């Protein structure tokens, strides 16, 4: 009878593994024969692992085998990268460890006041495992945004994350073996053990969060370094142009007294034809954008393109200077910057691959809706129907994550809509910001 309870409890746990992965990785994966078979397979592995004895070595091996099984499960079922599979497995492990510790603690307290000694038997029952899984799933749903953000954006080496995760889990295994919760009564040792286990899980979350913060800061510094590199090139070019202009003025001054009017006119006409007066012409267009941060951000992206010899066309409607877009909430502004950043980055990369190397940007307002259109030339074939799928790219495997993230933002924020199309040799992205929704 006990073996049947273990089998049922393990299957429940494996189903929870699928549910939590679906939430953390935001995949909306369907339950099909393949996923069902893999879930049953991991259930059998966990059952076999749990049938071995409970010495300290066995508990450590259990932790390692089960953790690696979870990583393999997420990689097979959700097709995730190794780093994301490790992170999702570790976070799931910690959530259920905390949940189990709290549930066991509550059960022992209830049975203590009822003067009942069957708490240890009830701990491994189907009903308790079902409660643990349900609470674990609810906790994951509650903190979905924060946890998914960490998994999506952390850039650490997978070996570092694996070592951190394994160290925390092994510490839990050693603690569990030293004072086995299954055998404890409600006393000071039991309370200390539960508190230490919960504390270790919290330490695990803190370590991952710190790693996320470090990676985020490193990414900010990289952006700042890129910005400095681009602006340094512009300043150097400005210095050279200023020096060249000074030399040309000296030549013209000397020609005034020594050359004929016709020679002077021919020289000046030649200067006008060879001078790149329109190289940074977008600056005059960007002045109509009422959000300084967005103006600077777009200017930086366009300078990057210009330095790579991409032909840029831009048109910003004059009346945007008085647009309500400056009243967007901080979160909406952040989403706007993210979307436009992805569009411009994709346009730069795709146009560089093309023969024409052209990017066009247009911003205007109609009926209280802001339209941002970014079009670029491209090489090869693009499947419009697959463009929003995670990992799809015309440039190869695991490259197209940007538009998938844009699609997530648009689905979750009523301020935005977008369309994708192909017009002649251009790939066109249009973002619509519903300014009428600003409160």
Query: By C-alpha distance, which of 67, 59, 64 is closest to 88?
Result: 67
Q: CB neighbours (10 Å) of residue 109?
A: 13
Average pLDDT on 157-164 reads: 74
Beta strands in 161-203 (DSSP E): none
Contact 96, 19 (CB under 8 A): no
Tokens 């099909």, residue located: 32
How many CB atoms are located within 10 Å of the residue 85 CB?
24
**Of 167-176, 199-208, 336-345, where does mean pLDDT reach its minimum?**
167-176
State how far the Cα of 139 lies from the Cα of 100, in Å rounded to an integer.
12
pLDDT digits (tens, 9 = 90+) for 390-426: 444 444 443 445 777 788 889 889 999 999 888 888 9
d(CA 135, CA 102): 10
Tokens of 151: 């998994």
Say what the pLDDT of residue 187 is: 61
- Answer yes or no: are the C-beta atoms of 405 and 342 closer than 8 Å: yes
- Mark out the alpha helices in 114-125 (DSSP H runs): 119-123
The CA distances from residue 356 to 33, 42, 85, 303, 378, in Å, are 47, 52, 40, 18, 8
Domain ranges across the chain = 2-222, 280-437
CB 158 within 8 A of CB 86: yes
- 378 vs 9: which has the higher pLDDT: 378
**Average pLDDT value for residue range 97-103:** 81
104-118, 235-249, 403-417: the lowest-pLDDT one: 235-249
Average pLDDT on 170-198 reads 64
**What is the DSSP secondary structure assignment for residue 435, as one 8-state letter?**
G
Q: Are 353 and 310 in contact (CB under 8 A)?
A: no
User: What is the share, in percent, of the chain residues with pLDDT greater than 90?
Assistant: 13
Q: What is the pLDDT of residue 415?
A: 93
- 44-61 pLDDT, tens digit each: 887 777 666 555 556 677
Model confidence at 25, in pLDDT bands (50, 70, 90)?
confident
Helix/strand/coil percent split, the chain, to 5: 70, 10, 20
Q: Which of 104-108, 152-156, 381-385, 392-396: highest mean pLDDT? A: 104-108
| Alpha-carbon dihedral 53, 54, 57, 61, rounded to 10 degrees | 80
CB atoms within 10 A of CB 277: 7
- pLDDT of 351: 92
Cα distance between residue 119 and residue 186, in whole Å? 10
Show the tokens assigned to 233: 């090139």
Please determine, for residue 228, whether its predicted confidence score (pLDDT) is greater than 50. Answer: yes
Rounded CA-CA distance 434/1 in Å is: 61
The answer to whether 17 and 42 have CB atoms below 8 angstroms apart is yes
Euclidean distance between the first and the last CA atom of the chain, given in angstroms as a whole number: 61
The C-alpha atoms of residue 19 and residue 36 are separated, in whole angstroms, by 12
Q: Name which of 29-33, 273-277, 310-314, 429-433 the model is least confident about.
A: 273-277
Q: b/e string for 126-136 if b means 16 or more Cβ within 10 A? A: eebbebbbebb
Note the pLDDT tens digit of each residue in 345-375. 999 999 999 988 999 999 999 989 999 999 9
Q: Is residue 98 within 8 Å of 175, Cβ to Cβ?
A: no
CA distance 186 to 86: 35
Residue 433 pLDDT: 95
Q: 27 φ, ψ to 5°?
A: -105, -25
Q: Count Cα neighbours of 408 within 13 Å in the Cβ-side half-sphere.
A: 17
pLDDT of residue 435: 92
Calpha distance 378→141 (Å, rounded): 40
What fold, for 280-437? Heat Shock Protein 90 (3.30.565)
> Is pLDDT at 239 greater than 90 in this prediction?
no
pLDDT level of residue 11 (50, 70, 90 thresholds): confident
**How does residue 76 score in pLDDT terms, banded at 50, 70 and 90?**
confident
Average pLDDT score, the chain: 77
β-bridge partners, 315: 362
d(CA 251, CA 247): 6
Q: Are 279 and 240 in contact, with CB atoms under 8 Å apart?
A: no
Residue 324, judged by CB atoms within 10 A of its CB (0-12, 13-18, 19+), counts as: middle
Higher pLDDT, 351 or 214: 351
pLDDT at 344 exceeding the cut of 90 = yes
pLDDT of residue 39: 83
SS3 389: coil
In the numeric block, which tokens belong to residue 427?
């790939």
- The answer to whether 18 and 35 have CB atoms below 8 angstroms apart is yes
Between 183 and 109, the more confident residue is 109
Q: Give the pair of three-digit tokens for residue 96.
A: 């259920």
| CB hemisphere CA count around 141 (13 angstroms) | 8
């Amino acid at each position: 009878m006990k073996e049947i309870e273990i089998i049922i409890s393990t299957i429940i746990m494996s189903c929870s593994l699928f549910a939590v992965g679906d939430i953390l990785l935001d995949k909306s994966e369907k339950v099909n024969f393949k996923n069902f078979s893999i879930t049953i397979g991991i259930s059998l592995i966990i059952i076999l692992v749990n049938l071995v004895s409970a010495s300290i070595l066995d508990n450590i091996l259990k932790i390692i085998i089960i953790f690696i099984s979870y990583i393999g499960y997420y990689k097979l079922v959700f097709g995730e990268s190794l780093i994301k599979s490790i992170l999702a497995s570790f976070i799931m492990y910690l959530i259920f460890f905390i949940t189990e510790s709290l549930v066991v603690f509550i059960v022992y307290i209830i049975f203590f006041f009822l003067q009942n000694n069957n708490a240890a038997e009830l701990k491994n029952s189907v009903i308790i495992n079902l409660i643990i899984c349900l609470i674990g799933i609810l906790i994951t749903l509650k903190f979905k945004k924060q946890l998914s953000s960490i998994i999506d954006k952390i850039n650490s080496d997978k070996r570092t994350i694996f070592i951190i995760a394994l160290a925390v889990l092994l510490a839990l295994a050693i603690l569990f073996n030293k004072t086995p919760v299954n055998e404890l009564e409600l006393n000071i040792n039991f309370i200390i053990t539960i508190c230490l286990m919960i504390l270790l899980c919290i330490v695990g979350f803190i370590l991952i969060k710190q790693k996320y913060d470090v990676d985020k800061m490193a990414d900010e510094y990289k952006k700042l370094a890129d910005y400095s590199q681009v602006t340094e090139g512009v300043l150097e070019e400005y210095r050279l142009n200023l020096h060249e202009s000074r030399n040309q003025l000296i030549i013209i001054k000397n020609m005034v007294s020594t050359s004929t009017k016709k020679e002077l006119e021919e020289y000046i006409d030649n200067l006008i034809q060879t001078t790149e007066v329109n190289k940074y012409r977008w600056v005059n267009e960007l002045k109509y954008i009422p959000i300084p941060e967005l103006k600077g951000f777009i200017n930086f992206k366009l300078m990057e393109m210009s330095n790579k010899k991409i032909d840029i066309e831009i048109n910003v409607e004059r009346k945007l200077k008085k647009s309500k877009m400056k009243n967007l909430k901080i979160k909406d502004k952040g989403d706007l910057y993210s979307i436009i950043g992805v569009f411009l980055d994709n346009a730069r990369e795709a146009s560089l691959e093309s023969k024409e190397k052209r990017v066009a940007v247009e911003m205007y307002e109609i009926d209280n809706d802001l339209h941002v259109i970014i079009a670029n030339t491209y090489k090869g074939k693009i499947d419009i129907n697959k463009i929003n799928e995670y990992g799809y790219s015309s440039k190869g495997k695991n490259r197209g994550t940007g538009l998938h993230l844009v699609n997530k933002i648009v689905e979750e924020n009523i301020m935005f809509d977008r369309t994708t199309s192909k017009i002649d040799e251009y790939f066109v992205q249009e973002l619509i910001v519903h300014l009428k929704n600003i409160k």
